[in-house]
Structure 1
Amino acid sequence: MKLERVITTPDNYAPYLLSQGIRFGNLLFVSGQAGAGDDGKIVEGGFRAQGEQAFANLRRALEAGGSSLDQVIKVTIFVTDMNNFKDVIELRRQFFSAPYPADTIAEVRALYNPEVMIEIEAIAAVATAQEH
């Protein structure tokens, strides 16, 4: 099997020399998605607004790789302040449904940009043609 690069439009991470995602067989590995809008700037409105944008960016990367939020197996959520944990639960409720993906949440000191408060990476299944 070969690795296939997933490209989204826009691709705000191209300057950082990373792929939005890598598809390997029936698995899709999506790089961390933050709350950047199409212009590459972090959205205003605080943690919840950034979280909603990060999930929208995650959805876009998943779909570009042939998957969806419903096919996420494992998600890792990085936050800069664990006091936002209740909002993380609400975001999971808004964007995922049962069976919920396996999940790790970790507080980190900083992310790639000082404005970023949340970043989400995921591993998802990709259905084959015969599974559709």
Structure 2
Amino acid sequence: MTMGVPTTTTANELTIVNPRNLYDPTPNGYSTAVIVPPNARVAYISGQGGQDSTGALSPDFAVQVEQAYANLRTALDALGARPDQVAKLTVLVVDHDQSKLGVLTEQVKEVFGEALPAQTLIPVPRLAIDAMLFEVEAIVILD
């Protein structure tokens, strides 16, 4: 693809596109677009919050984000999938402000490395459980 810089193909054939004429989103932990290969099998992972295996939630935003991504990794493992197979993330953040963006970016880069999926962040007033501060859902392309 000539329109995007950088354009990267990951091991499972997802193509990441960040067009030259758009803002470079990679420093903030996401890509502008991801092309899925033809005839790919798709899995949808429901929103994962920051609950541990007992259902407990830390009151700390960063701890919830880290746990939510650990939960996402567990769901990926159950599908036999890797982080570089995630095409799209949607994250929901209670009372989002700029101070939370750094926490989110750090965690996404830790989980996904250079294979940053497309991503949408939606600020919300609350989530399903009162103490939840963060939730992440994923669209995954299976081998």
Equivalent in 30, 36, 42 of residue 27 of structure 1: 42
- Among all aligned residue pairs of Structure 1 and Structure 2, give the percentage whose two residues are the same amino acid: 35
Consecutive aligned runs of 4 or more in structure 1 exceeding 4 Å deviation: none
Letter in 2 for 1:118: F
Equivalent in 113, 120, 124 of residue 108 of structure 1: 124
Whether the aligned pair in 2 keeps the contact of 1:36 and 1:53 (CA below 8 Å) is yes
Letter in 1 for 2:69: F
Shift in Å at residue 45 of structure 1? 5.4
> Hey, what does 1:77 align to over in structure 2?
91
Equivalent in 55, 59, 62 of residue 76 of structure 2: 62
Larger radius of gyration: 2
TM-score by length of 2: 0.67
Trace 1:1-132 onto structure 2 (pairs within 5 A): 26-42=41-57, 44=58, 46-83=60-97, 84-127=100-143
Kindly tell me the number of residue pairs found equivalent between the two proteins: 102
TM-score by length of 1: 0.73
Distance 2:96 2:59 in 1: 18
Whether the aligned pair in 2 keeps the contact of 1:27 and 1:126 (CA below 8 Å) is yes
Letter in 1 for 2:49: A
Distance 2:43 2:125 in 1: 27
SS in 2 for 1:86: helix
Distance 1:46 1:65 in 2: 29
Whether the aligned pair in 1 keeps the contact of 2:59 and 2:131 (CA below 8 Å) is no
Distance 2:132 2:83 in 1: 22
Which runs of no fewer than 5 residues in structure 1 stay unpaired?
1-24, 128-132
Distance 1:93 1:105 in 2: 15
Which runs of no fewer than 5 residues in structure 2 stay unpaired?
1-39
Letter in 2 for 1:68: R
Q: Which has the higher strand share?
A: 2
